[in-house]
Structure 1
Amino acid sequence: MALFIFRSIPMNTYELDCPAVPFETVGKTVAQVVSRIEQRLRKAELEPEWVVAANWIDDANDSLHGLKADALWPVVVEGESRLCLSVAIGRSEGWLVQIDHVRLHKAGDGGHWSSVALLRIKTLTRTHAWAVAAAMSRLLEID
Structure 2
Amino acid sequence: MNTVADLIQPLLAARFDPAGRAVRKVVHEVERVLHHTDLEPEWVAVANSLANEDEDRYGLMPSAPWPDAGRHRRVTLSVELGYSEGWIIQVDFVQLVDRGHSAGVWHSRPLLRIKTLSRSQAWAVAAVVSRLLDID
1:23-73 CA-partner distances (Å, limit 9, x unpaired): 111110010000000000111222111100001121111011111111111
Aligned residues: 133
* RMSD (Å) for aligned C-alpha atoms: 1.6
> 5+ residue gaps in structure 1?
1-9
The correspondence for 1:100, drawn from 72, 81, 92, is: 92
> 2-side partners of 1:16 and 1:95: how far apart?
24
Q: Normalising by structure 2, what TM-score?
A: 0.90
Q: Percent identity?
A: 43
Give the match for residue 11 of structure 1. Answer: 2
Structure 1 residues 109, 22: CA separation in 2 closer, same or farther (over 3 Å shift)? farther
Q: Which has the larger radius of gyration?
A: 1
Give every structure 1 segment of 4 or more consecutive aligned residues whose post-TM-superposition deviation is greater than 3 Å. Answer: none
Q: Hey, which of these two has a bigger chunk of helix by percent? A: 2
2:87, 2:117 within 8 Å by CA — same for their partners in 1? Answer: yes
> 5+ residue gaps in structure 2?
none
Please say if 1:126 is aligned against 2:98.
Answer: no
Q: Normalising by structure 1, what TM-score?
A: 0.86
The correspondence for 2:107, drawn from 114, 132, 136, is: 114
> 2-side partners of 1:99 and 1:113: how far apart?
15
